[in-house]
Amino acid sequence: MNTKIPESVLVVIHTRELDVLLLERADHPGFWQSVTGSKDHVDEPLVQTCRREVLEETGIDAAGHVLSDWQMVNRFLIYPHWRHRYAPGVTHNTEHVFGLALPDRLPVRICEREHLGHVWLPWREAADRCFSWTNVEAIRQLPARERNGK
């Protein structure tokens, strides 16, 4: 069995109007989040991880839009019910935060194996709906990042 690499990306997909795309996890109904995913291999560049995960989870080709590294890194304890996906003894994940700016809401084609549904929400509502504290914090920073052109 392949184990997950404990290094991942979180990609906040948003519009100019600061609407944020959230996905509902298939393995935990009611858990909403932005696009997330682990590197496929240790040497995979983070930008490539972002583009691959966005395409797999939403059907959106990130290459045609502005993908930015927010220079935010979170290290957190992996929930016990997900640790079986990692090598024995791995308890923490390092997450790199990116933003994907779209001109408008785009059609989404979810990966039904991973997600039950999707929703576009204004940024405050999106932050309130997320279960992950790192996702909440990233979305809350969105207005300032957009004002500052980051």
CATH number at residue 107: 3.90.79.10
The total number of structural domains in the chain stands at 1
Q: Is residue 1 part of a domain?
A: no
Report whether pLDDT(146) > 80.
Answer: yes
Q: Is residue 38 part of a domain?
A: yes
Torsion of CA 58, 61, 66, 72, to 10 degrees: 50
* 132-147 mean pLDDT: 94
In a domain, 2, yes or no: no
pLDDT at 107 over 70: yes
Residue 60 lies in a domain: yes
Contact 12/98 with Cβ under 8 angstroms?
A: yes
**What is the distance of C-alpha 61 from the center of its chain?**
15
Structural domain range at position 19: 7-147
Task: Find the range with the poorest average confidence among 45-49, 81-85, 129-133.
Answer: 81-85
Residue 27 lies in a domain: yes
Q: What is the pTM of this model?
A: 0.95
How far is residue 5's CA from residue 86's CA, in Å, rounded to a whole number? 7
